[in-house]
Structures are given as C-alpha cells and as structure tokens.
Amino acid sequence: MKTKEEILFQETPVGRALLSLVVPTVISQIITVIYNMADTFFIGQIGDPNQVAAVSLCMPMFVFLTGLANLFGIGGSSLIARSLGTNDHDKTKRAAAFSIWTAVVVSLLYGIGLLMMRSVILPVVGANAETYDFCCQYIFWTITIGAVPTVLNQLLAHLVRAEGHSAQASFGVALGGGLNIILDPVFIFPLGLEIAGAAIATMVSNLIATFYFIFLLSRKENTTDISFYPKFYTWKENIPKEVLLVGIPSCLMTLMGVLSNITINRLMSGYSNAAVAGIGVAKKVDMLSFAIATGMSQGALPLIGYNYAAKNYKRMKAALKVDFLISFIVALIGSIFLFTCASPIVKAFINDEETVYYGQMFQRIICITGPCISVTMLTITSFQSVGKKIEPMILSLLRKGGLDIPFMFLLNNLKGVNGIVWATPIADLGAMVVAVVLFVPFWQRLSDQKSNRNIV
C-alpha cells in the first residue's frame, strides 16, 4: 500500500500536487519576509534613523545564517527527494543526519567567530560611531546566541518539505515569523530595550520554531526518515559531496547577496545614514518578490527531484511548466504593487522625510525586475532538484556579486546614489537571460526520450 507521500509524488494531478507543495511554502516565505521586516518596522517607530541603519548594516551578517540553512537544507532535501524516488530509505536517514549535525557545528562556530571579530568586521560593513553600539547589541542576540536555532529552523523546514510535508514545514517557519511579530513590540516598547529587544525577540522566536520541528519529528519517528540520531551521521557514500555541491549555489547566492548588501551599504554610507536606512527599507520590502519566487521554486523541488529519480520525466516536465507560468504571473503582479505603492509602504516603516525620499525612490528601481527573479530562481531549483551543480552556481554568481557589485561602483561614479541602486535590476535581468540560455538545452534533452537517462 502506497503512503500519502508516494501518492502525492506519483499519482495526484500535477496542478493539485504542485499547489499543495507550493502554496504553503510561499505563505511561509511571505511570513518570513514580514518577520524580517518586523525589526525594521518596529525599530522605525522609535524614530531613530541610526537604529534603523544599524539593523540594515547587520542584516547581511544575519542573512548569512540563511545561506548556511540553504547549504545543508536545499542540498539535503534534494538528495532526500531523489533517494525517496529510488526507495533508498537508509540513504535518506544518513543524508538528513549529515545535514543537521554539520549545520549545527558550522552555525555555532560562525556565531562565536563573529562575536570575537566584531570590532574588525562591523567597521568594514559600514558601522560608524553612531551605529556601532547598536550593531553590537543586535548581532549578539540574533547571531552569537541565535545562530543555531535560526539555522535549524530553516534547515528542518527544507528537510520536512522534501518528504512531502509542505504544510507542516511551512507552519514551523510561519510560527517563528508570527512570534517575532508579536514579541517585537513587547520587547522594544514596554520593556524599553529598543534594538536589543528586537534582537531578543528574533532569537526567542527562532528557538521556539526549532523546538516545534524537533517535537514534530519526534512524533513522526516511526514514519519519517529524517533522523537526529548521530549513528546515521556519515562522510561516506558521497553524501557530503551530494549535499554540499547541490546546496552550494543557494548558499553562494546568499553569501554573494551578503557581499552585495555590504557593498551597497558602504557606498550609501558615503551619502548619509538616511540613505542607508532608505536602502535598508527598500531591500526589506523587495524581499517580498524574492520570497514569492523562492517559495514557488523550493516548494516544487521535492516533486521535480522525486520524479526525476523515478524516471517519470513526463510528470516532471508538467510540474515545471505549471510552476514557471504561475510564478511569473504572481511575480509580475507583485512588482506592479510594490512600484505603485512605494511611498506609503516606506512611510509605514519610518516617517523621517529624508529616509522616505530615498526609500520610495530605491524601491521603485529595485522592484521592476521581479519577474526576472522568478525565472532565474526556478531555473536554479530545477537544476538543483536533478543534482546538477555547475549551472546553479553560474546563475547564483551572476545574480549576486558577478554583475551587481561591478555595476554598483561603475554607476556610483556615473550617476551617484541612484546609480548604485540601478545595479540590482541590471544584474537580475542579466541573470535571467543566462538562465534561459542554460535551461533551453536542458529542456530539449529532457524532451528527447533517448537522452533521458543521460541528462546529468
């Protein structure tokens, strides 16, 4: 008798199966964006641009934790989905154990290292006399103390989703986001902790969400292949290679995004703290487009990977077609909304006149290539789901770091503060063009039944 997950991956109509996986993932991603916006929003109500700027300066270092979660989470979930497609449950257990325990050690070391090196790193990312102390408070609670639960929360969501439990995975992510939104104003205002309160709220929320996943997997112990038992941890069977090489592109995109944000903050700090705060708000708001694109692609990964491993290429192609169409349309609608409502959205975060001026202008520039992001992200995930390594890495490097950083410096010299921001849509457009160029031959080989067994 087939399990519910096997029926979902093998027999449920593609549109319904895709929606059951994608919709919860998109919702959880949107809630995550709102949760990431919460710190900026509530700190903005204090009316101090320096604290808003400090959150913007610290965000790249915090987002690095998402890179670690993606490294082990997306790499692990891809291997788990493909192992389930071939009914190799022992390999699934070992892949999960490797992903979980390696992520714990790496995130712990990162948190400790950042604490020890903060006096060197913070000035490099743009902290000055007005923002340094605020940055120290924020990274202590969110990263030094909160690194492990923040990474585990997202990592376990990826692994649970790989088994087809998209709703439970999304609930865990949404739980952390919802709690942060509730706890932020409590710690910031009644307790008077301001930016430190926002950081504590973030750490506590991620910790509770991690406990939810541990409880969920404990209850499913007899039916899940996701195992915490160290006895399943291994460096054999090419498991580290498969997890890391598939996960590196997503991690690399996040890391290059960190470098990109550090660069843009450094360049903006040459103008004013209001410009830094403005780009911080604009970047946070534009995360909505990226969240939708990420949710549409990551939600489809288990279905694509499972059917690829099972050699059901017709079903795999159908899933890709539907997902591409829906994600592009949704991204287009989102970009139109963010462009037309830029001014009131930025004002909702902070009512400082100069910050609002910069923020709404930056948001309109950044959001115009939302549909391009959706195409690139789904292309990357399609390659990752079948175990490809080179193509996702190329696209990840192009989208963040390869194109936008050089253009930031060039356009800063040519056009000033607005030119810095235009580098982002230029990079997104360029990455999409390359994504299409790489994907078309892959699609053609997939369509050729004689080549189906030699796609990777």
What's the pLDDT tens digit per position in 234-250?
887 788 888 888 888 77
| pLDDT exceeds cutoff 80 at 142 | yes
Q: Is 371 within 8 Å of 333 (Cβ atoms)?
A: no
Q: Three-state DSSP class for 37? A: helix
What is the average pLDDT score of the chain? 83
DSSP classification of residue 143: I
How far apart are alpha carbons 289 and 338 in whole angstroms? 9
Q: Quick count: other Cβ atoms within 10 Å of Cβ 216?
A: 18
How many residues comprise the chain? Answer: 456
What is the model's pLDDT at position 109?
95
Once rounded to an integer, what is the mean pLDDT over residues 179-194? 86
- The radius of gyration of the chain from alpha carbons, rounded to an integer in Å, stands at 21
Q: Please write the tens of the pLDDT for every residue from 28-57.
A: 777 777 766 777 778 878 777 788 888 878
| pLDDT exceeds cutoff 50 at 266 | yes
How far apart are alpha carbons 372 and 211 in whole angstroms? 36
CA angle 240, 155, 308 (to 5 degrees): 65
**In angstroms, what CA-CA distances link 74 with 120, 160, 188?**
32, 11, 34
Q: Please write the tens of the pLDDT for every residue from 273-299.
A: 778 778 878 877 777 777 788 788 877
Cβ-proximal residues to 11 (8 Å cutoff; 6+ apart), any chain = 2
CA angle 91, 157, 280 (to 5 degrees): 135
Torsion-angle region of 98 (φ positive above 0: left; ψ -120 to 50: alpha; else: beta): alpha
| pLDDT exceeds cutoff 90 at 226 | no
One-letter amino acid at 380 equals I
| pLDDT exceeds cutoff 50 at 128 | yes
Q: Which of 225, 298, 233 is nearest to 73 (CA)?
A: 298
Higher pLDDT pick, 354 / 116: 116
Q: Which of 175, 178, 184, 183 is nearest to 215 (CA)?
A: 175
* Position 454 confidence tier, pLDDT thresholds 50, 70, 90: very low
Q: Is 373 within 8 Å of 289 (Cβ atoms)?
A: yes
What is the distance, to the nearest Å, from the Cα of residue 413 to the centroid of all Cα atoms in its chain? Answer: 31
